[in-house]
A = this chain, B = another copy of it.
Amino acid sequence: MNLPEDQKIWVPWMRRSIQLALLAEGRTSPNPLVGAIVLDSSGRLVGEGFHTGAGNPHAEIEALAQAGKESFHGTIVVTLEPCCHQGLTPPCTEAIIKAGLKRVVIGMVDPDPRVSGNGISRLKDSGLEVIDGVLNQECESINREFSFRVRHGRPWGILKWAMSLDGRIGLQNGSSKWITNTIARDSVHQIRAKCDAVIVGGGTVRVDNPLLTSRGKSDFEPLRVVFSRTLDLPKSSKLWDTKNAKTLIAYGPEGDEAFFSDLPNGPDKLRLNSDDPSELLTSLSEKGCNKILWECGPLLATSAIKADCVQELVVFVSPKLLGGKAAMSPLNSFGFESIDSTYKLQHSILERKGEDLCWSLLI
């Protein structure tokens, strides 16, 4: 990091603010993760706070409340540019000015067009010293999904599959329980716990009858989305029971709505104008999803990749050999004619999960 020498003193405090922000991982959507600390005029820590969820106080307000009068002539260190607009809560810039702080240290500019530099301007115009870009990459990285949604109007998409060493996600007869071990499957529950929605296609509902929850790894279960072209779905499915987690049935123009007549009341319905996965993701973005997980079969996975609805892949590889030309593969054809034209991914994280591997990559 190429920070000027006199700004390096803020690095440990920004690191603490990032720690605080991460305490609410998976719970703030559509809002970002934000953490803040307040130092008094002599540099002592007098307040800490983080944003716990949409509609709750912002991190700055929490930290200022804890600091009370001791924030006067002090410094606030916050991972994200303070907001200057009236949202579900009042603008943070005004609270900071009112508290009599003399300095604001910021990690990243808010990509939200309602803020996006306007918060910094408002603070500077009010005579406060503003230092920007401290641990900028780290602050950007904890809000990668939020920033992606704000910039593209679609949630960050993760595609997960579990395969054998010879690249098979199921036998020819559809059997896939279980290719990976319990440690790997536990990781999938953890990934779900940090996503706002999990999407499957009708085929997965028909064949696997999945539950798609985090198995209690999060207080807030992700929205379970069934994306069906035809609404040819089973009458009975674990997903139709919405006691512990919500379900949304999204369907395109060919969907036969007669299916709904026998369905229990639990699941929500969403009629779309097309079978394009990006239309579904735009809707989920409007519902406040920053990050979604595709847990679908090859047909939907391939169309999601083609439609730029996948930014990250998480692939579990189990040391088993399934074999079989007709066995199930992770993806259908993209129509590539040469290796040079295929998708090239960027390595992110490689982990052992017991005997299995888990490889995360960016697309």
Contact = CB atoms under 8 A, between A and B. Distances in A.
Interface of A: 163-168, 171-173, 175-179, 298, 302, 305, 313, 315, 317, 319-327, 329-334, 336-339, 342-347, 350, 352, 355, 357, 359, 361, 363
A334 B324 contact: yes
A337 B171 contact: yes
Of the listed residues A177, A320, A339, A343, the one surrounded by the most CB atoms of chain B closer than 10 A to its CB is: A339
B333 A176 contact: no
A319 B345 contact: yes
24 contacts: A163-B167, A164-B342, A165-B315, A165-B361, A168-B329, A171-B336, A171-B337, A175-B339, A178-B339, A317-B359, A319-B345, A319-B359, A321-B334, A321-B342, A321-B345, A322-B334, A324-B332, A324-B333, A324-B334, A324-B336, A325-B329, A325-B333, A327-B333, A357-B357
A339 B72 CA distance: 65
A338 B319 CA distance: 16
Of the listed residues A165, A179, A343, the one surrounded by the most CB atoms of chain B closer than 10 A to its CB is: A165
Contacts of A346: 319
Contacts of A331: 166, 321-324
A18 to B, nearest CB: 28
A177 B359 CA distance: 23
B320 A175 contact: no
Instruction: Please give the count of copies of this chain that the complex contains.
Output: 2
A333 B347 CA distance: 31
**Across the A-B interface, the 9 shortest Cβ-Cβ residue pairs:** A167-B167, A321-B343, A324-B333, A319-B345, A323-B334, A323-B331, A166-B330, A166-B331, A320-B342
B344 A322 contact: no
B167 A330 contact: yes
A295 to B, nearest CB: 16
Contacts of A313: 165
A191 to B, nearest CB: 17
Contacts of A166: 167, 329-331
Contact of A359 (B165, B298, B323, B326): B165
Given A167-B163, A167-B330, A325-B332, A344 B320 contact: yes
A314 to B, nearest CB: 11
Of the listed residues A302, A321, A332, the one surrounded by the most CB atoms of chain B closer than 10 A to its CB is: A321
A347 B342 contact: no
Given A319-B344, A339-B178, A167 B357 contact: no
A176 B340 CA distance: 10
A174 B202 CA distance: 32
A326 B333 contact: yes
Contacts of A305: 321
